[in-house]
Amino acid sequence: MYHYYTCPELKTGFAALRRHPCNCTACDETIRKPWDGSKAAKDQERFANPEDCFFREVMGEHNCWYIVEVKPAADTEEEELAEVFEDIIHHVTSAVAESIEPGSIGAIATADETTDGYYLVEFSGLPFVEQDGSGALLCECYWLYPVPGAKKWYTRSEVAHTVDLTKVVDAKVEMSSMSQGNMIPAGARRLLDGNIAEKISETSHNFILDEILRRERLEYDPSRVYTGDLAESDSDRVM
């Protein structure tokens, strides 16, 4: 198999394989078809073998897709596996850094049991490289505080922090402001004291949880995230 394909919908540890890579128009259009949540992976339209594929006359059905589980070979050395995971984390971190814009909202994985598994921040600048020789990618940001009594609602703050981007699991979190169809509970609204509150979208919330699980498969340790006085004393504050 020489053509490998993965996507979030396949979930961690699975990939689609076929014998020969093909980027003809028919195959490019097919692989971009939307995912149908009511169907199994092997039955998705994007994994069909199109009739007008460039290689169809030569390979027939021998170039169809197979959904397989991906795991290290039994004889893989732990050191070698650790290097692979480190390379993947580096690649993911670089991709996160490229997508950050000042004012966008990010999610940081945490082992803090008082949260859903993540903190939210607002990026206040562009990523930069740590000058201590480590080469770590960092970014300045402001913490977002959860609104007491209003699940998934947050307010912005002026509490600044510098975050290590290896801990950021989503740099484009979708938030929605209050409206007639998106209203914060009345009890929590009285606590805002004029501050603006926004709610994280269900899509972003689910993506973050899935990404945290993927990072854990790479031996990613969310307990390294800052969980000091801010998490303990300010988690119930509304700024």
Q: Which residues, 6+ apart, have CB-to-CB distance to 61 below 8 Å?
A: 49
209-216 long-range contacts, CB within 8 A, separation 24+: 209/116, 209/117, 210/8, 210/11, 210/12, 211/109, 211/169, 211/170, 212/109, 212/117, 212/118, 212/169, 213/12, 214/12, 215/89, 215/109, 215/169
In the chain, domain spans: 3-69, 78-233
Give 63-78 pLDDT, tens digit per residue: 999 999 987 777 777 7
155 in Cβ contact with 145 (< 8 Å): yes
- Residue 53's nearest CA partner among 34, 33, 25, 31 is 25
The tokens describing 134, both together, are 């480590």
28 in Cβ contact with 22 (< 8 Å): no
**Which pLDDT band, with edges at 50, 70 and 90, does 221 fall under?**
low
Residue with token string 């960092």? 138
* Res 235 pLDDT > 70: no
Rounded (5°) CA angle 51-57-63: 70
Give 93-120 pLDDT, tens digit per residue: 899 999 999 999 999 999 888 888 999 9
pLDDT for position 25: 95
**Which pLDDT band, with edges at 50, 70 and 90, does 39 fall under?**
very high
**Overall average pLDDT of the 216-237 stretch:** 47
CA gap 218, 185 in Å, rounded: 38
SS3 30: helix
CA gap 23, 7 in Å, rounded: 17
CA gap 35, 28 in Å, rounded: 15
The end-to-end CA distance of the chain, in Å, is: 55
